[in-house]
Amino acid sequence: MSQVRDHALTKTLAASSTHALPSYLNADDLGPWGIYLQQVDRVTPYLGHLARWVETLKRPKRMLVVDVPIELDNGTIAHFEGYRVQHNTSRGPGKGGVRFHQDVTLSEVMALSAWMSIKNAAVNVPYGGAKGGIRVDPKTLSRGELERLTRRYTSEIGIIIGPSKDIPAPDVNTNDQVMAWMMDTYSMNVGTTATGVVTGKPIDLGGSLGRREATGRGVFTVGVEAAKHIGLDISKARVAVQGFGNVGGIAGKLFSEAGSRIVAVQDHTGTIYQESGLNVPALLAHIKEHGTLITFPGVEVIANDAFWDVSCDILIPAALEQQITATNAGRIQAKLVIEGANGPTTPQADDILQERGVLVVPDVVANAGGVTVSYFEWVQDFSSFFWSEDEINARLVRIMQDAFDSVWAVSQQHKVTLRTATFIVACQRILHARELRGLYP
């Protein structure tokens, strides 16, 4: 993940930049933010007169770093570093999740916030992009400590979030309970119950039906569309999934229901393989009960690195950033990669996969189902009128199909990858809004 650095890339970026690097960046260690900057550079030639505004996308609008002190159960005081970055708000309030992870850095949150700007524009929901995080391993905290951490963090970032300013949501290691605590803390501070300040809440607190499954459902929906374009029969496809939580687990379940064989699954505890296809509901139940997949009966446990050599048609990276790199991209057997995670493929790996004829459906469209149903949740909270799950899923599928079709058309028109095509569509929307609003003062 963020520790995996590519020095050749960062040197290229530093050399090609016409502007001095901002003080918070180290030219030799740009990480995910460096990857994002290169993705923007790749799209700039296609932006026409809007290229004049492109520098806007290369610096976040607002970044807040906060100290989050909490009293641990043993009576000592611990301090954690928290972040909230609002990358762009040209098209609407900031929107994006909050992750709790021991390796989170400001540079990583900057990249994740920028990818939210691109994603929200790609599916045309009226938001800018934002992201937050706390540098903590939540597995080491008790429930009480986790609640105190969440509440203090929410209070600290309370000066920049709000239902019409910036709306957090779940991301890696955060869930509906964390959102309930965030909503309550913000509401206590402003003196009114403000359900619209976060999305991904429990259903009984203004959450939306279908939100928990939405990212995985979106991954499946664009996967079906992409497979049609390359003549791949989903009902016969072999699928390998990295990360089997809320995104990979749901996507895996939907693919297996459509007849695909889930032949390999990797998570932070190990990697399993079964050529005849895993029983996904049983595997999900096993993970829930035992916290690991490697003890699932009747499967072959393989080395983590062997995951990249698995014979399959579809690969779904649904864990963390920088998993598909120049070192393993050449080994991938799949014809189709659908990015459930944010930022799983480096630009060098993108080039290798493109040369090898592997179609990559990029994160900024593939995993946009989550934020799309977050948008539905926010709208439902504002109107206090709640929709049925069927209606939510039907609207989600339509938005994902439309987004995929537009991006596919642009990729054909300009003969570019789906990632560059998505960036073209999204950057044009963001920069057009920027231009219409004009420069203040």
What residues are annotated to the active site?
Answer: 131
Q: Which of 34, 60, 82, 96 binds ligand GLU (CB under 6 A)?
A: 96
By beta-carbon proximity to ligand GLU, the closer residue of 261 and 419 is 419
The CA distance from 133 to 142, in Å, is 18
Residue 162 DSSP one-character state: B
The CA distance from 223 to 251, in Å, is 9
**Chain centroid to CA 182:** 20
Q: Which stretch binds ligand GLU (CB under 6 A): 183-191, 224-232, 346-354, 367-375?
A: 367-375
Applying CB under 6 A, does 169 fall inside the site for ligand GLU?
yes
By beta-carbon proximity to ligand GLU, the closer residue of 221 and 367 is 367
By beta-carbon proximity to ligand GLU, the closer residue of 6 and 339 is 339
CB of 112 to ligand GLU, least distance (A): 7
CB of 175 to ligand GLU, least distance (A): 11
Q: Which stretch binds ligand GLU (CB under 6 A): 25-33, 286-294, 363-371, 397-405?
A: 363-371
Give the CA angle between residues 336, 340, 342 to the nearest 5°: 115
Applying CB under 6 A, does 39 fall inside the site for ligand GLU?
no
CB of 149 to ligand GLU, least distance (A): 18
Residues 6+ apart with CB under 8 A from 98: 84, 131, 132, 133, 134, 153, 168, 169, 170, 171, 174, 178, 182
Q: Is 172 helix (H, G, I), strand (E, B) or coil?
A: coil
Applying CB under 6 A, does 370 fall inside the site for ligand GLU?
yes
Q: Which stretch binds ligand GLU (CB under 6 A): 18-26, 89-97, 187-195, 238-246?
A: 89-97
Element (H, E) at 301: strand 300-302
Question: x/- string (CB under 6 A) for ligand GLU, residues 189-228?
Answer: ----------x-----------------------------
Half-sphere exposure of 197 (CA within 13 A, CB side): 25
Q: Is 263 helix (H, G, I), strand (E, B) or coil?
A: strand
By beta-carbon proximity to ligand GLU, the closer residue of 199 and 266 is 199
Element (H, E) at 290: helix 280-290
The CA distance from 28 to 26, in Å, is 5
The CA distance from 95 to 66, in Å, is 19
CB of 169 to ligand GLU, least distance (A): 3
Query: Shortest Cβ contact with ligand GLU: which residue?
Result: 97
Applying CB under 6 A, does 371 fall inside the site for ligand GLU?
yes
By beta-carbon proximity to ligand GLU, the closer residue of 34 and 343 is 343
CB of 318 to ligand GLU, least distance (A): 11
Q: Which stretch binds ligand GLU (CB under 6 A): 42-50, 223-231, 364-372, 383-391?
A: 364-372
Cβ contact 400:221 at 8 Å:
yes
By beta-carbon proximity to ligand GLU, the closer residue of 169 and 407 is 169
By beta-carbon proximity to ligand GLU, the closer residue of 13 and 426 is 426
Nearest residue to 371 via CA among 160, 109, 116, 101: 116
Q: Which stretch binds ligand GLU (CB under 6 A): 93-101, 138-146, 180-188, 312-320?
A: 93-101
Question: How would you class 126 by CB atoms within 10 Å of its CB: exposed for 0-12, middle for 13-18, buried for 19 or more?
Answer: middle
Residues touching ligand GLU: how many (CB under 6 A)?
11
CB of 371 to ligand GLU, least distance (A): 4
Cβ contact 265:311 at 8 Å:
no
CB of 404 to ligand GLU, least distance (A): 16
User: Burial letters for 32-62: b for 16+ Cβ neighbours within 10 Å, e otherwise?
Assistant: bbbbbbbbbbbbbebbeebeebbebbbebbe
Peptide bond preceding 22: is omega within 30 degrees of 0, i.e. cis?
A: no
Applying CB under 6 A, does 374 fall inside the site for ligand GLU?
yes
Give the residues across from 86 on adjacent strands.
62, 130
Element (H, E) at 133: strand 129-135
Q: Is 69 helix (H, G, I), strand (E, B) or coil?
A: strand
Q: Which stretch binds ligand GLU (CB under 6 A): 91-99, 218-226, 260-268, 291-299?
A: 91-99
Applying CB under 6 A, does 97 fall inside the site for ligand GLU?
yes
Q: Which of 266, 367, 380, 417 binds ligand GLU (CB under 6 A)?
A: 367
By beta-carbon proximity to ligand GLU, the closer residue of 96 and 207 is 96
> Strand 314-317 relative to strand 336-338: parallel, antiparallel, unpaired?
parallel
CB of 311 to ligand GLU, least distance (A): 30
Dihedrals φ, ψ of 287, to 5°? -65, -40
Binding site residues, ligand GLU, CB under 6 A: 95-97, 169, 171, 199, 342, 367, 370-371, 374
